[in-house]
Amino acid sequence: MKCNSCGGEVAEHEIRCHICMSDIGFPNVRAANTPEEKGELDRRLADAMTSAKARGCESILHSFGASVLSSAVVVSRALGLVKNIVESENQLITSFYRQVDGGSRLPEDNRFDRARPSVDGVLFPYYGDQIIFGALSLDGVGVGGSYGACHLTLRESAVANRSSLFEENSLLFCTMKHRIILGGRIPPGYRATWNVRDRLAMAKHQPDLDATVTPDKFPGILVRQGAKPENEVFIEVHIYGRIHRDAIEAVVFRKPTKGPDLAIWNSFKKALVKRGVRVAEVP
């Protein structure tokens, strides 16, 4: 890629041109915005439209896409961690690597944490330590799973310019479905920038829609929880940089029936409301 200001060749992972220091944009967003990526996504979407038309559900597909344009980024974390961030002006949500480096997290001895660095090396060459993962959601509930039961909806104004979208759980995409080897490349057509997230969602979910699907089912089509990562369905959001408490617009908490988290939550939710954060509970 060439710098728009000085014409110099810039590396994939930079956010500033190393020659003239001009802002060249977030690397994950640039990677999603190449002619090759956009062209292949257009092709997938055209195929999805043809298929939906043949099945008599073209208008449902359009209506699903329109709905996804109002979707938000949801990042899920444990309640204790969210509480620390909200109660401090200086705490930030950081990437997996920054947490491990900073000593606030130990990598788990599971195949996902072990595979993460090599997958991130393919997806985010030399900048994986900057990426926070979220899910695209229509109802404020993200994937949760091992991330935690507290779902944070982030303000669009805080994340739209630095977020890119990916078809699904990138670990499963790379390791199980496409078997991308170390140093390989992600096939084009599975990434999108924020403003065209509807196109990625329509290309992906066309087979899940039919003429009987009503709009109240759209949130559950976009995000499906699962007992195991293999069973979870979601569009993965890659957010460049860190997240400050002022970026949090709403919190949905999967409320336990008892235990210490319930007591913490009951006092914490009042603090959230006081900060102007919308709060909801799900069983």
Residues making contact with Zn ion (CB under 5 A):
3, 5-6, 8, 17, 19-20, 22
Query: Who's near 210: CB < 8 A, 6+ residues apart?
Result: 55, 57, 60
- In the complex with Zn ion, the residue whose CB is nearer, 17 or 239, is 17
Q: Closer to Zn ion at the Cβ: 4 or 231?
A: 4
Q: CA-to-CA distance for 87 and 271, rounded, in angstroms?
A: 8
Closest CA to 36 of 206, 186, 194: 186
Nearest approach, Cβ of residue 24 and Zn ion (Å): 7
Residues 143 and 170: beta-carbon distance below 8 Å: no
Nearer to Zn ion, 16 or 53 (CB): 16
Minimum CB separation from Zn ion for residue 21, in Å? Answer: 7
Task: Output 6 or 263, the one with its CB closest to Zn ion.
Answer: 6
How many C-alpha atoms does 263 have within 13 Å on its Cβ side?
2
CB of 130 to Zn ion, least distance (A): 20
- Distance from the Cα of residue 264 to its chain's centroid: 27
CB of 227 to Zn ion, least distance (A): 49
Angle at 122 between CA 117 and CA 127, to 5 degrees: 70
* Shorter beta-carbon distance to Zn ion: residue 4 or 88: 4
In the complex with Zn ion, which residue's Cβ is closer, 2 or 43? 2
DSSP state for residue 9 in the 8-state scheme: B
163-166 and 191-193 strand pairing = antiparallel
Closest approach, Cβ 27 to Zn ion, in A, equals 15
Q: Which residues touch 50 (CB under 8 Å, ≥6 apart)?
A: none
Instruction: Please state the closest distance from residue 201 (CB atom) to Zn ion, in A.
Output: 35
Give the integer Cα–Cα distance in Å for 161 and 225.
Answer: 27
* CA triple 109-115-121, angle to 5 deg: 140
Least separation in angstroms between residue 2's CB and Zn ion is: 8
17 or 141: whose CB is closer to Zn ion? Answer: 17
CB 215 within 8 A of CB 63: yes
